[in-house]
Amino acid sequence: MDIRTFNKLNVSEMRKVVGRLVSAGNKRVRNFQKAGESSPAIRQLEKSGGLLSTKGKDLNALRSEYSRAKNFLESKSSTRAGWKTIKKETIENMRKQGVDITPDKLDKVLKVYERLKQIDPSITAKALKYKTMNEISSMPEQMDVEEMILAMEDRIDELYEENSGVENEFTGVSGFFEM
């Protein structure tokens, strides 16, 4: 459907179009829930307002829901098979970078890493990213996500220093700034 046709839809027509997407999207969510799993697409959907719905929405809200549903359905991790493929590829890439990780531990490592990115975005630098993930994956299995995050918050500065070879933020500053 082109944008002009989309914009000309009235509320009932839009509700039908969005309803099909909502049905398909919520079916994928239920498949994950039945398996007791989650994926980045599912977590993003939860962050952006939970399950998809057309109930009680006006035309603009339906357009917004259309966008949420379309983004979710186009995400590779919105299906269990797609998420399985992504996990396999992620493990392979992490192992190539020297991260010792098992498929069972991947979800926990990724949850901790995502939370750490919110705390300190500097860990996304390529070399630091894999060092951080390696640190997370080497933590004891019995630690829960919150304990791992607290432990890693203390290690982030150390990892940054190891990665950059800088002892503190003022080392290597031009002689102009020295007293």
Q: Is the same domain home to 101 and 154?
A: yes
Q: Is the pLDDT of residue 10 over 70?
A: yes
Domain edge (last residue) among 78, 102, 133: 78
Q: Is the same domain home to 100 and 160?
A: yes
Element of type H or E holding 64: helix 59-74
Domain of residue 67 covers: 10-78
Using alpha carbons, list the distances in angstroms from residue 112 to 98, 116, 118, 119, 151: 18, 6, 10, 11, 10
Q: Is the same domain home to 18 and 36?
A: yes
Q: Is the pLDDT of residue 157 over 80?
A: no
Residue found by looking up tokens 């432990």 in the block: 151
- Note whether residue 56 is domain-resident: yes
Residue range 47-92, pLDDT digits in tens: 899 999 999 999 999 999 999 999 999 999 999 999 999 999 988 9
Residues 125-148, mean pLDDT to the nearest whole number: 78
- Note whether residue 177 is domain-resident: no
Q: Is the same domain home to 101 and 74?
A: no
Residue 100: how many CB atoms within 10 A of its CB? 11
Count of domains observed in the chain: 2
- Note whether residue 109 is domain-resident: yes
- Note whether residue 176 is domain-resident: no
Closest CA to 32 of 113, 115, 136, 107: 107
Q: Is the pLDDT of residue 166 over 60?
A: no
- Note whether residue 127 is domain-resident: yes
Q: Let me know: does 13 contact 49? Beta carbons within 8 Å.
A: no
Q: Is the same domain home to 40 and 64?
A: yes
- Note whether residue 178 is domain-resident: no
Residues 123-128, mean pLDDT to the nearest whole number: 68
For the chain, the helix, strand and coil percentages under 3-state DSSP, each to the nearest 5: 75, 0, 25
